[in-house]
Amino acid sequence: MQIPVQALQFQIAGKPVLCKQWGSGHINYTLRIETDAGKRYILQRINQFVFKDPVAMVENANGVASFLLNKTGNPKASVRFLPTLTGDICLKDDQGEYWRLYEYIEGFCLDAPECLEDFYESAIAFGNFQNALSDYPVETLYETIPNFHNTPDRFRQLKDAIAADPKRRAVRARPEIEFALSQEVLGGTLQRMLEKGQLPLRVTHNDTKLNNVLLDPETRKSLCVLDLDTVMPGLSAFDFGDSIRFGAATTAEDDPEPENMMLDLERFAAYTRGYLTAAKALTDAEVQALSYGAIIMSLEVGIRFLTDYLNGDVYFRTAYPEHNLVRCRTQLALVADMLKKWDEMNDIVNRIAKEFR
């Protein structure tokens, strides 16, 4: 592949000699660059449809990455962004596109855990991320996606979609609508705790899937957290909860048989243990909120799928007309299973928390 001219506008070591498309992400266009000095870099064109203020987004990511590198003294604690030749943190090219470049770190990522230890290592990674950033000035962060985890506002959007019903789909989703609305009070629990000052705002990652954890190719231990695009102020419980929603579920989020969707308590316990091993700066209230994070994240994602289905599939990419409704059903099935296992979930959190606090 031809070397893009944008790569030459950054302060890299050596001359680029090799370029190839990299990764499996669907948001940014990503290339890996190799130079004659033996250095490798990741060059990305930022998706401006998703990120309305790309400069602020990159400044968020760079601020957090630099803080992690400086605080830990570990060159693999985070990616390191390189400035342009003019000293800027990202490049705006002649076509109005924005680019950024960071050093490549050797390692690998998994889309799904191959064993329980993989899921545990992802918890260590995100727990370390949370712990190391516990004294970061969170108020300086740009809110990349406003109200991203404001669950009451997500319910407002759902109710608007039900009232408008532009595609006349509400009748087909009546059971899902009724169940979702029955959980509205539960869904607002963490937002109410935040507003009452019971939970602190933290630096949160907001995409805490296993495939955003870089693992050591020899030891399979976690090295660092990748993809800092959605770093912004938030609640630690939501980061924890999204990992559980995705990684401790027993089936894919678009399994057409929602009865296959349940919470795997063994995985839940493994992740909780890893997270609390590393995230030592959490308050007692934050620890008690972890189970709420798991169930509310599952509920929130479920109502987002439902809202998009009712609105005509305008946000999430779909493969067939009922795709978002299928996704909604699996998430709500996970919520229902968590309600059945609620006492067990809290017992696991409390038992593990006593070992570290």
pLDDT of 67 above 90: yes
What tens digit of pLDDT does each residue of 229-273 get? 999 999 999 999 999 999 999 999 999 999 999 999 999 999 999
Q: Is 184 exposed, middle or buried (0-12, 13-18, 19+ CB in 10 A)?
A: middle
How far is residue 334's CA from residue 263's CA, in Å, rounded to a whole number? 6
Portion of the chain with pLDDT greater than 90, in percent:
90
Cα dihedral 140→143→147→149 (10° resolution): -80
How far is residue 55's CA from residue 60's CA, in Å, rounded to a whole number? 9
Give the pLDDT of residue 31: 95
Mean pLDDT of the chain, nearest integer: 95
Q: Any idea where the domains of the chain sit in the sequence?
A: 5-103, 116-356
How far is residue 273's CA from residue 269's CA, in Å, rounded to a whole number? 6
Quote the pTM value. 0.92
Assigned superfamily of 116-356: Aminoglycoside phosphotransferase (APH), C-terminal lobe (3.90.1200.10)
Q: Which of 333, 326, 324, 328 is nearest to 302 (CA)?
A: 328
Q: Which of 202, 177, 355, 200 is nearest to 273 (CA)?
A: 355
347/144: higher pLDDT: 347
CB 64 within 8 A of CB 133: yes
* SS3 assignment, position 79: coil
Phi, psi of 330 (to 5 degrees): -70, -40
pLDDT of 25 above 80: no
Amino acid, single-letter form, for residue 147: N
Give the pLDDT of residue 24: 66
What tens digit of pLDDT does each residue of 94-136 get? 999 999 999 999 999 988 888 999 999 999 999 999 999 999 9
Longest CA pairwise span in the chain (Å): 62
Q: Is 4 exposed, middle or buried (0-12, 13-18, 19+ CB in 10 A)?
A: middle
Kindly give, in sequence order, each residue whose CB lies less than 8 Å from that of residue 352, ignoring residues fewer than 6 positions away. 269, 272, 273, 276
How far is residue 333's CA from residue 313's CA, in Å, rounded to a whole number? 21
CATH class of 5-103: alpha beta
What tens digit of pLDDT does each residue of 140-178 get? 999 988 888 999 999 999 999 999 999 999 999 999 999
Residue whose token pair is 């919470």: 263
How far is residue 324's CA from residue 83's CA, in Å, rounded to a whole number? 40
Give the pLDDT of residue 26: 63
Q: Could you tell me the two tokens for 86?
A: 């003019």
Give the pLDDT of residue 62: 96
CB 76 within 8 A of CB 218: no
What tens digit of pLDDT does each residue of 186-228 get? 999 999 999 999 999 999 999 998 889 999 999 999 999 999 9
CA atoms within 13 A on the CB side of 179: 19
